[in-house]
Amino acid sequence: MRIITASELKQNLGKYIDLSKEEDIIVKKNGKVVTMLTSPTLREDALAAFLALSGKYQYVDYESILDERDGKR
């Protein structure tokens, strides 16, 4: 996890977009956290692992979770 300022993000957006594929980027403005850049793949993998540990699912992907949540859309 990396913490940067909003100004740093503005000056190096491409760099931080690429870096967010590997780690979370916390963005602060005036000393307060305003947002976080993160990779959907990192979140999907963590969620799938958690649900697999819960015993309800053997394998889960993000779309399946959304379909179940939304009543099979």
Tell me the per-residue pLDDT of 9-35, one tens digit each, with 9 for 90 and over: 999 999 999 999 888 899 999 999 999
More confident residue, 37 or 62: 37
Q: Of 55, 31, 37, nearest to 1 (Cα)? A: 37
Tokens of 43: 């979140």
Distance CA 20, CA 24 (A): 5
> What does the mean pLDDT of the chain come to?
82
Same domain, 22 and 49: no
Same domain, 44 and 30: no
pLDDT of residue 59: 62
Same domain, 32 and 44: no
Matching residue, tokens 């000056």? 11
Domain of residue 47 covers: 40-69
Distance CA 44, CA 63 (A): 9
Same domain, 33 and 49: no
Same domain, 13 and 33: yes
pLDDT band at 5 (very low <50, low <70, confident <90, very high): very high
Domain count, the chain: 2
4 sits in which H/E element: strand 2-5
